[in-house]
Amino acid sequence: MKETLDLKTVTDEVEREIIKLVHKKGKCMMGDILMHLKLSYQKGKQYVSSLESKEVLTNREQAPFYTLKVDLS
């Protein structure tokens, strides 16, 4: 069972938008995230890596797609 994440606890606006995008679509490629949020690859990778280290995002199960490792409340 996945942990539950309250979006109100995510203080970084860009991270929150990435989470909302992946939640809405179910899965996203890095390019989807970069285009939707108008981020450079370098900036996008930093945000995605941060969310991976926080165990919010993963791409291990469906590479190259990123999916949420948490449910939203």
Predicted pLDDT at 16: 98
CA angle 14, 19, 24 (to 5 degrees): 125
Model's pTM, two decimal places?
0.90
Q: What is the pLDDT of residues 11-36, one digit of tens each?
A: 999 999 999 999 999 999 999 999 99
Number of domains in the chain: 1
DSSP codes joined into one string, 7-44: GGG---HHHHHHHHHHHHHS-B-HHHHHHHHT--HHHH
Query: Does 62 have pLDDT greater than 80?
Result: no
pLDDT of amino acid 22: 96
Q: What are the structure tokens assigned to 38, written together?
A: 């108008």
What is the CATH classification number for the domain harbouring 57? 1.10.10.10
pLDDT of res. 10: 96
Domain of 34? 3-72
Other Cβ atoms within 10 Å of 23 Cβ, number: 16
